[in-house]
Amino acid sequence: MRLAPYKIAWLQISHQKLRLLAAVLGVSFAVVLVFVQLGFQQALYDSSVRWHTALGYDLALISPKTTYIVNPPGFPRNRLYQALGFPGVESVTPVYIGIGNWRNPDDPVKVRNIYVMGFDPSAAGFRLAGDPNQVQKLRLPDRVLFDRFSRAEFGAVARQFEAGEPVSTEINDRDVTVVGLFELGTSFGIDGSIITSDLNFRRIFPDRQPSRIELGLIHLQPGADLQATREQISSTIPGDVRVLTRDEFVQHEVDYWSNSTPIGYVFGLGVAMGLAVGVIVVYQILFSDVQDHLREYATLKAMGYSNFFLSRVVLNEAVMLALIGFVPGILLSLLVYAQATEATNLPVEMTVERAVLVMVLTIVMCAGSGLLALRKLRSADPAEVF
């Protein structure tokens, strides 16, 4: 029946059930707050690089003036073909990018901007567009593939298509037919997307020159040295293009959102606020808990228990509260994530790293608050507390 610190801690926090419930809810609230902010922040960055990660390539070629992928300036297609001449380069894929006016097939009065990507259907790099048969259909004129995760404002295209109904509408006042679906999703800059062939792209955007592309994809031969090839290409071809690896290309986009737009700042602030509010909530809970038991702890000290023993009791309490509060916290967060994903089509997902991070944060917050609250007793003579 030895009463070790963990046992006393458990008896202390479990003695009053309502108080325990309140404390656990408080910790859960803090956990949800942090999870939601982190989730949205990550969703922003994940969604903004959907294309960067879905496309198949080893090196990407963009204009140095490119700020983000939604509306990049063009550069000469020849630069991409020049890259083809370097050792280690297996193939290249020119990509055309534009913003078209999509007329809602269900409600033709409504017109929305849609993200259009055009490429040579025979080229590699478009595994995301589905099976090769589907891609081959793009060889016919005015045929497009539609992103089924596009926002609902573009019309119930996916549902109609899957029901076997032909879906036709206008892009930039030109009739097109949807011949397939692919899965990508929306981002803060893109509400919906379609993929088509390079020829169809020029039919939709008649003023575009085939010699100017917005994005170049370079595929290396297996075993080729990525960095060396990148160095070679960028040092040899003229400076009106930039060569980026996949990671650099992703980072380039993330940097844009986090540094050059208020959105990144707002979500960074959100995470900071979430953490701050979480710390305050948890501190309040632990502090008032220790405060209410201060007399009892002073009694233990008066009986001859050391500060070390008392600290261990409070630390145990803190960790227990953190762990108990974390469980409903993460479950609630998963619910919120599912809701948010459903409502926005943004990739709000729980990752193991984030779960571990928030759990460690919660424990640290709880333990720190507990020890801070105990500081008064550590330094005081027991007689001064009674």
Residues near other proteins (CB under 8 A): 1-3, 8, 11-12, 14-16, 295-296, 299-307, 381-384, 386
H or E, element range at 11: helix 5-15
Tokens of 260: 């050059």
Q: Determine contact, residues 329/32, Cβ cutoff 8 Å.
A: yes
Q: Give the pairing type, strands 111-119 and 89-103.
A: antiparallel
Is the alpha carbon torsion for 349, 352, 355, 361 positive or negative?
negative
- By beta-carbon proximity to other proteins, the closer residue of 142 and 289 is 289
- By beta-carbon proximity to other proteins, the closer residue of 11 and 272 is 11
- By beta-carbon proximity to other proteins, the closer residue of 230 and 293 is 293
Shortest Cβ 328–other proteins spacing (Å): 23
- Closest to 319 measured CA to CA, from 261, 278, 274, 360: 360
Q: Determine contact, residues 68/48, Cβ cutoff 8 Å.
A: yes
User: 């926005």: which residue's tokens?
Assistant: 344
- By beta-carbon proximity to other proteins, the closer residue of 8 and 275 is 8
Tokens of 207: 């003023």
Shortest Cβ 386–other proteins spacing (Å): 7
Burial 272-290 (b: 16+ CB within 10 A, else e): eebbeebbebbbebbeebb
Q: Determine contact, residues 218/61, Cβ cutoff 8 Å.
A: yes
- By beta-carbon proximity to other proteins, the closer residue of 8 and 176 is 8
Shortest Cβ 319–other proteins spacing (Å): 18
Shortest Cβ 348–other proteins spacing (Å): 41
- By beta-carbon proximity to other proteins, the closer residue of 2 and 227 is 2
- Closest to 158 measured CA to CA, from 175, 137, 180: 180
Burial 172-189 (b: 16+ CB within 10 A, else e): bebebebbbbbebbbbbb
Shortest Cβ 4–other proteins spacing (Å): 9
Q: Determine contact, residues 317/309, Cβ cutoff 8 Å.
A: no
- By beta-carbon proximity to other proteins, the closer residue of 262 and 304 is 304
Shortest Cβ 21–other proteins spacing (Å): 16
- By beta-carbon proximity to other proteins, the closer residue of 161 and 305 is 305
Measured in whole angstroms, how far is the alpha carbon of residue 162 from the centre of its chain? 29
Shortest Cβ 298–other proteins spacing (Å): 8
Tokens of 165: 């109904």
Shortest Cβ 355–other proteins spacing (Å): 31
- Closest to 157 measured CA to CA, from 112, 126, 217: 112
CA distances from residue 74 to 66, 67, 118, 214, 283 in whole angstroms, order as listed = 8, 12, 13, 4, 54
